[in-house]
């Protein structure tokens, strides 16, 4: 998505969030970085997951198929691997992500997972999408992750317009899309199967490195802030 240049207010909120994460989330904590993405059967890339920042609107046209068949996928990246995929569909038809459907994912798909991996203390990160932050979603999340929710309106803030800081955006979706379309799936069932296969093939060493890098942008941003303060002296 083509977006306006980040403002100084955006920059300040991003740095404040980075400080909060580095100061409050232990280095050995399990962080689940979660999100959804569309995978179109045509191979069309959803511009929501690939963003470019510019000071002015470039007035560029982006051609895309009309009514392209697609699947909507939820995943969470952690140092031990990927939780997911979960497909938002009903009776074989892709549906919109609503708060009610998101709560279903949390209660019926995500909630049992910590027990499967040894019941660690888990922090949960999500962006500020409406389905994520509506009242019923937040009530469930606060119960599941008391004091450990990294989110708009969570126990720790997540800054708006920051896909570059989230593991699904800076790693998972681009990596998967580079893999799943190689064999040109012809149906949504084949597309789902390809997504499941490629996620299963991601080695734990890769996700461990990804979640290590989850902290690096925050540290880099704080280093930049310190450098800027030094320049002002």
DSSP 3-state of 133: helix
Number of structural domains in the chain = 1
How does DSSP classify residue 163?
G
**In which band, very low, low, confident or very high, does the pLDDT at 92 lie, cut at 50, 70 and 90?**
confident
* Distance of alpha carbon 156 from alpha carbon 23, whole angstroms: 11
Sign of CA dihedral 222, 31, 51, 7: negative
**76: pLDDT strictly greater than 60:** yes
Q: Are 148 and 125 in contact (CB under 8 A)?
A: no
Structural domain that includes position 37: 2-232
Sequence-distant (6+) residues with CB within 8 A of 123 are 25, 29, 30, 31, 32, 145, 148, 149, 150
CB 36 within 8 A of CB 54: no
**Which element (helix H / strand E) includes 166?**
none
pLDDT digits (tens, 9 = 90+) for 164-217: 889 999 999 999 999 999 999 999 999 999 999 999 999 999 999 999 888 775
CATH assignment of the domain containing 209? 3.30.420.10
5-9, 139-143, 174-178: least confidently modelled range: 5-9
Query: Which residue, among 80, 100, 76, has the nearest Cα to 90 in the 3D structure?
Result: 100
Would you state the pLDDT for residue 115? Answer: 73
């Amino acid at each position: 998505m083509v977006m306006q240049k980040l403002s100084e207010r955006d920059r300040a909120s991003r740095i404040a969030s980075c400080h909060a994460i580095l100061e409050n989330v232990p280095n050995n904590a399990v962080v689940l970085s979660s999100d959804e993405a569309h995978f179109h059967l045509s191979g069309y890339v959803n511009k929501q997951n690939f963003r470019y920042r510019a000071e002015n609107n470039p007035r560029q046209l982006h051609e895309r198929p009309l009514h392209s068949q697609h699947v909507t996928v939820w995943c969470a990246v952690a140092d031990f691997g990927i939780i997911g995929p979960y497909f938002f569909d009903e009776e074989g038809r892709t549906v919109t992500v609503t708060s009610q459907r998101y709560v279903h994912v949390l209660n019926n798909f995500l909630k049992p997972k910590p027990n499967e991996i040894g019941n660690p203390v888990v922090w949960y990160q999500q962006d500020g999408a409406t389905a994520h932050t509506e009242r019923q979603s937040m009530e469930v999340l606060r119960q599941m992750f008391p004091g450990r929710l990294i989110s708009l309106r969570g126990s720790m803030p997540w800054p708006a317009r920051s896909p570059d800081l989230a593991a699904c955006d800076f790693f998972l979706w681009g990596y998967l899309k580079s893999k799943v379309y190689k064999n040109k799936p012809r149906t949504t069932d084949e597309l789902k199967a390809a997504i499941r296969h490629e996620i299963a093939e991601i080695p734990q060493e890769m996700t461990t490195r990804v979640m290590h890098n989850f902290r690096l942008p925050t540290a880099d941003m704080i280093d930049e802030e310190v450098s800027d303060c030094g320049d002002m002296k």
